[in-house]
């Protein structure tokens, strides 16, 4: 079992993510926007569930998911069997994505697509692109041209796809690069890179997460050709409670339901691990039991997290969005959303890891503080643009196409490592709170304005995930110019081709 200090550290990290939003919402509800007492109490209880659930999940994922990914990656590497590597890569990509908490939250909020259908389609998309990503490493295909080819295909498909699927498709790409999938993907990528003997192998292991986030976008766009859905105006059931006992029973009844759902989602991962354990891993008793203890913590953490989101967080976020969309409060909507975006990105632990990596990669030409400031501004702007879309109904294509065009154009001028880190870090900014609170918040706004839920509310996660693609690469351009101007040792030369840059926390 994890030490008490590790568990406390993870709970502190999750508290830093959740408490800024709780504080902003509390100030709004106490001073300006009236809210029912039962909903506010439910929201506060849900906040506790989120904090504890995210903490337990983080510890459990470190003990189980990261270890399973590392063991399987190492075993596949030693086999040198490329077809086996690709097949297992596909299966693992599907299995871990099914259990991704951000995807669970997103799928439960999409009104026009069956939850199971969306999860399966997105997971298959990740599995296929994980397989292609591993093949890229083995064959040393340039990341830049693969990104341009696949995003070119995406923007060709958007011309013909049902408009109701566009925003959800881009959101799906943003929610699949989370704490469940990344450890597996990174471990497999590093393991497969070691199959090659050339000096650029480890550098080519970057970009896996960025490529895997393309799979869900394409998968949902293709789904739009065969899955018929009506235009959805917007509606969501907001839970209300007559007294505290009814509120407590609501939480207690949701716990076993979510436990069963998460158990089903984790089952494929457990089966894959057990098959490898019997056939080839044969771990000793102590590490084997430690991994299973981590799986139990992951299960409990996800159960608490989803219960807090579904019972407490989403309802108040949805209703708060409705209230702020009222003409007398509407002037507050965009600035409040931008403030929330600023605090959400600042509270993400992985963002601080990213900022430090860029500082080291640029040999100090870009400070962690400057990088953090640029990301905060970018995500804050993304939230503001999302609320502008929710209020006006502007098509997401007017923002996504120029944004990705800039990001892809920058790949021609930026050192390859910055490009790979930029596209890998697209999911860093779109953390759990983006799908758990800000998306229902946008849905509430659309509900109040009478817009189309599928086209106007969704797309928020996609805009948040897009910003680091631009910001990190701009920082790369600045670093390159600074190194040339000062005629000092270039930042990029301080890292060898075979060096490993850890973007994600262990």
Round to whole Å and give the CA distance between 360 and 364.
6
Supply the pLDDT for residue 334. 92
pTM of the model: 0.83
3-class DSSP assignment, residue 213: coil
What's the token pair of residue 124? 């298959």
In the chain, where are the structural domains located? 4-227+246-494
Could you tell me if 190 and 205 are in contact, meaning their C-beta atoms sit under 8 angstroms apart? yes
pLDDT given for residue 234 in this prediction: 44
For residue 118, give every residue at least 6 positions away whose Cβ sits within 8 Å of its Cβ, in sequence order, or none.
Answer: 106, 107, 110, 168, 172, 220, 223
Phi and psi at 239, nearest 5°, equal: -70, 135
Buried b (16+ CB within 10 A) or exposed e, 186-213: bbbbbbbbebbeeeebbbbbbbbbbbbb
Contact predicate 349/14, CB 8 Å:
no
Q: How far apart are CA 288 and CA 308, in angstroms?
A: 30
DSSP state of 505: -
pLDDT at 289: 92
Residue with tokens 């399973």: 68
Q: What is the pLDDT of residue 506?
A: 36
Cβ atoms of 134 and 85 closer than 8 Å: yes
CA 392 to mean position of chain CA atoms: 26
Tens-digit pLDDT profile for the chain (506 aa)? 666 778 888 888 888 888 888 999 999 888 888 888 888 888 999 999 999 998 898 888 888 887 887 788 778 777 778 888 888 889 988 988 988 888 888 888 888 888 899 999 999 999 999 999 888 887 778 888 899 999 999 999 998 888 889 999 999 988 887 767 776 777 677 767 666 666 665 566 667 888 888 999 999 999 988 887 654 444 455 666 767 788 888 888 989 988 998 898 889 889 988 998 998 888 898 999 999 999 999 999 989 988 988 888 888 888 899 889 988 888 889 999 999 888 877 766 667 666 776 677 667 767 778 877 888 888 899 999 999 999 999 999 999 999 999 999 998 888 777 787 788 777 667 777 788 888 899 999 998 888 888 889 999 999 988 988 888 888 888 877 777 776 544 444 444 444 554 544 43
- Selection from 459, 479, 468 nearest residue 378 by Cα: 468
Contact call for residues 212 and 124 (beta carbons, < 8 A):
no
Q: Based on the number of CB atoms within 10 Å of its own CB, is 233 exposed (0-12), middle (13-18) or buried (19 or more)?
A: middle
Report how far residue 110's alpha carbon sits from residue 127's, in angstroms, rounded to the nearest whole number: 22
pLDDT digits (tens, 9 = 90+) for 172-225: 988 887 767 776 777 677 767 666 666 665 566 667 888 888 999 999 999 988
Rounded distance, CA 503 to CA 352, Å? 10
pLDDT of amino acid 261: 87
Query: Helix, strand, or coil here: 37?
Result: helix
Place of tokens 């650029």: 200
| Per-residue pLDDT reduced to its tens digit, 172-186 | 988 887 767 776 777
Instruction: Say if CB 475 and CB 354 are below 8 A apart.
Output: no
CA distance 312 to 22: 12
Residue 362 burial (CB count, 10 A): 25
CA distances to 320, 408, 494 from 474, in Å = 35, 12, 20
Q: What secondary structure does DSSP assign to 230-283, as a single string?
A: -------PPP--SSHHHHHHHHHHHHHHHHHHHHHHHHHHHHHHHHHIIIII--
CB 73 within 8 A of CB 191: yes
- The torsion region of residue 276 among left (phi > 0), alpha (psi -120 to 50) and beta comes to alpha
What would the two tokens of residue 393 be?
Answer: 């109904």
DSSP codes, 44-91: HHHHHHHHHHHHHHHHHHHHTHHHHHHHHHHHHHHHT-HHHHHHHHHH
d(CA 282, CA 188): 19
- Contacts of residue 214, defined as CB under 8 A and 6 or more positions apart, other chains included, come to 129, 147, 150, 151, 154, 173
């Amino acid at each position: 079992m994890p030490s008490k200090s590790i568990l406390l550290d993870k709970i502190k990290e999750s508290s830093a993510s959740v408490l800024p939003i709780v504080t902003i919402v509390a100030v709004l509800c106490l001073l300006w926007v009236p809210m029912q007492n039962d909903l506010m109490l439910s929201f506060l209880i849900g906040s506790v569930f989120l904090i504890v659930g995210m903490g337990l999940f983080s510890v459990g994922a470190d003990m189980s998911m990261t270890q399973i990914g590392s063991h399987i990656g190492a075993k596949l590497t030693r086999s040198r069997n490329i077809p086996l590597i690709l097949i297992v890569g596909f299966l693992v990509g599907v299995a871990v994505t099914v259990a991704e908490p951000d995807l669970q939250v997103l799928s439960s909020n999409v009104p026009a697509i069956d939850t199971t259908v969306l999860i399966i389609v997105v997971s298959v998309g990740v599995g296929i692109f994980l397989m292609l990503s591993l093949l890229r490493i083995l064959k040393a295909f340039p990341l830049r041209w693969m990104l341009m080819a696949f995003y070119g295909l995406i923007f060709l498909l958007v011309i013909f796809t049902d408009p109701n699927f566009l925003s959800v498709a881009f959101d799906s790409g943003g929610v699949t690069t989370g704490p469940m999938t990344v450890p597996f993907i990174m471990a497999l990528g590093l393991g497969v890179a070691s199959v090659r003997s050339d000096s650029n192998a480890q550098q080519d292991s970057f970009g896996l997460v960025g490529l895997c986030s393309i799979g869900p976008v394409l998968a949902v766009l293709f789904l739009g050709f065969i899955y018929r859905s009506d235009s959805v105006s917007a509606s969501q059931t907001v839970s209300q409670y007559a007294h505290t006992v009814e509120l407590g029973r609501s939480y207690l009844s949701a716990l076993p339901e979510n436990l069963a759902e998460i158990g089903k989602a984790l089952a494929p991962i457990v089966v894959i691990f057990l098959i490898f354990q019997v056939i080839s891993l044969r771990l000793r008793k102590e590490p084997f039991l430690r991994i299973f203890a981590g799986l139990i913590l992951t299960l409990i953490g996800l159960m608490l997290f989803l219960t807090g989101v579904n019972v407490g967080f989403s309802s108040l976020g949805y209703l708060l969005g409705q209230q702020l969309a009222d003409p007398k409060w509407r002037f507050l909507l965009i600035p409040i959303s931008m403030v929330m975006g600023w605090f959400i990105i600042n509270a993400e632990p992985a963002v601080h890891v990213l900022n430090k990596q860029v500082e080291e990669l640029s040999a100090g030409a870009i400070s962690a503080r400057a990088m953090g400031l640029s990301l905060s501004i970018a995500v804050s702007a993304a939230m503001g643009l999302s609320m502008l879309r929710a209020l006006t109904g502007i098509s997401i294509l007017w923002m996504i196409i120029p944004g990705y065009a800039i990001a892809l154009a920058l790949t021609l001028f930026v050192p390859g490592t910055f490009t790979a880190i930029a596209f890998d870090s697209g999911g860093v900014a779109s953390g759990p709170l983006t799908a758990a609170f800000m998306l229902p918040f946008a849905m509430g706004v659309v509900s109040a304005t009478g817009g189309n839920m599928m086209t106007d509310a969704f797309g928020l996660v996609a805009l948040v995930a897009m910003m680091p693609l631009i910001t990190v690469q701009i920082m790369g351009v600045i670093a390159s110019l600074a190194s040339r101007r000062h005629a000092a040792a270039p930042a990029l030369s301080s890292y060898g081709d075979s060096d490993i840059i850890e973007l994600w926390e262990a």
